Amino acid sequence: MFNEEEFLKVKEKALENHIPIIMDDTLSTIEKILKEKNPNKILEIGTAVGYSASCFAKNTNESCIIDTIEIDEERAKEAIENIEKIGVSDKVNIMIGNAVDILPTLNPGYDIVFIDAAKSKYSIFLEEGIRLINDSGIIIADNVLYKGYVMSDYNKHKQRTAVRHLREYIKEVTENPNLKTDILEVGDGLAISKVSKK
């Protein structure tokens, strides 16, 4: 049983602690995709405290498995506790480590890949995502507009590297002939790439 009360507590605590969980409009957009696709296997890169993974668990069929990767051990431990409390630990499988190292060890077969971790690694995540995703699957990336910085001509030094990587990601998903991509101005910017490997 999905424990709505615990779920809301996790959301509230994450917001209080400035953990960058997916925004409400981002979630609604992804929920629509989940309804349409009815996935059996989801891969998430960037678990944080398990909020988005729990959202995916809530909005998918009983047998859908969500594999999710988190580099920060403390956060991963909290996520494991949270998915227990929320009652979705049978669907959510948390892997602790750097996704750059873990992704190459995974086998293909995902219907949806959700990228929501280090912006400087988005290109690597995309390459692995394409390898791991099923034909006609969907690769979703969060934060691709990064508070508008990605569309701005002038950015502070602090943001410049991330902006460069995110622009590179947008270029790659737009130019790849096997992907059909929409960039949506929901939340912090969402890239939705439909995969057709033929």
Catalog residues that contact ligand SAH under the rule CB under 6 A. Answer: 20-22, 46, 48, 51-52, 69-72, 75, 98-100, 116-118, 121
User: By C-beta, is 48 or 179 nearer to ligand SAH?
Assistant: 48
The residues in 131-160 that bind Mg ion, with binding defined as CB under 5 A, are: 142-143
Give which of ligand SAH, Mg ion, none residue 48 binds (C-beta under 5 to 8 Å, depending on kind).
ligand SAH
Output the smallest distance, CB 55 to ligand SAH, in A: 8
Instruction: List helix spans (H) across 24-72.
Output: 24-37, 51-58
Task: Provide the edge-to-edge strand list for the sheet that holds 110-115.
Answer: 92-96, 65-70, 41-45, 110-115, 133-142, 190-195, 179-184
116 binds Mg ion (CB under 5 A): yes
When the beta carbons of 91 and 121 are compared against ligand SAH, the nearer one is 121
Whole-angstrom CA distances from 155 to 20, 46, 116 are 21, 25, 22
Which CB, 96 or 183, lies closer to ligand SAH?
96
Element (H, E) at 67: strand 65-70
**Tokens (6 digits) for 149:** 């910085």
Closer Cβ to ligand SAH, 3 or 174, answer by number: 3
DSSP string, 162-185: HHHHHHHHHHHHHH-TTEEEEEE-
* Interaction partner, residue 143 (Mg ion, ligand SAH, none; CB < 5-8 Å by kind): Mg ion
Site residues for Mg ion per CB under 5 A: 116, 142-143
